[in-house]
Amino acid sequence: MSSLSQQTPSLPRIFGSVLFFFGLFVAQLLVSIFVRLEPWYLGYWASQYENDAPVSVFKYLGGFCLLILAEVAMYCTAHIYFTLGSFNASKLTHRRLVDSIMSATFRWLDITPTSRIITRCTGDTDAVDDTPSEGLWDLVDRSLGIITAFLAVVIYSPAFFIPGVLVGVIGVACGRIYLASQISVKHEQSNVKAPVLAHIGAAMAGLGRCILNSQAALLTP
């Protein structure tokens, strides 16, 4: 029962993760909306010259500058928010990994190569820290950018709705195939790196003995 309670995440942690992704989604959505509003605002500014009334350049230029400043501020806020969340997720992952190794049985430590444990705590941890976080940021950023651009086109040209949906379905299918193949590839790469570390460890362990033997040969009359 105690092990089950340790593995089951608490309610604040669950709601914290939900709130984190919700805040990230809202921030990135606002950034995408500001990006789509900029060309529309320039077109609206240009359309004002079709009328005979004078156009205030400073008014529209100031509005465009405010849009850019709002986009930059929201983008920086979203990036800082995401970076802090990534740090917290990495700390939690590292803590769980080290706790699982430290609480392992002697039988598991006896049958598991030390090089594989080192690989899990070094190379694999680096892959978990960097690649997923960067991939998640790119996924949310590009997905919301594509969705907002698609909606902007559909509002003025509804005929592009069905072709856009078909392209999205094809992209999702290709992504699922890629993820299914990458899981086995990453597992094989991790297993291949482990013996290399074992050979390096054995070589470093035998280096001191070689040095001692060479020095003893020099002292032998």
Kindly list the domain boundaries of the chain, sorted by start residue.
Answer: 2-156, 159-221
pLDDT for position 73: 93
The CA–CA distances, whole Å, from 5 to 11, 13, 93, 148 equal 12, 13, 17, 42
Residue ranges, the chain, pLDDT below 70:
1-16, 115-116, 119-120, 122-128, 189-221
Q: Is the pTM of this model over 0.75?
A: no
* CA proximity to 121, closest of 99, 146, 143: 99
Nearest partner of 24 among 67, 89, 74, judged by Cα: 74
**What are φ and ψ of residue 122, in 5° steps?**
-120, -80
How far apart are the C-alpha atoms of 9 and 78, rounded to whole Å? 26
Q: Considering only the top CATH level, what class is 2-156?
A: mainly alpha
Predicted pLDDT at 72 = 93
What whole-number distance in Å separates Cα of residue 197 and Cα of residue 188?
15
**pLDDT for residue 190:** 64
Rounded to whole angstroms, the maximal C-alpha distance in the chain is: 109
Within 10 Å of residue 78's Cβ, how many Cβ atoms? Answer: 22
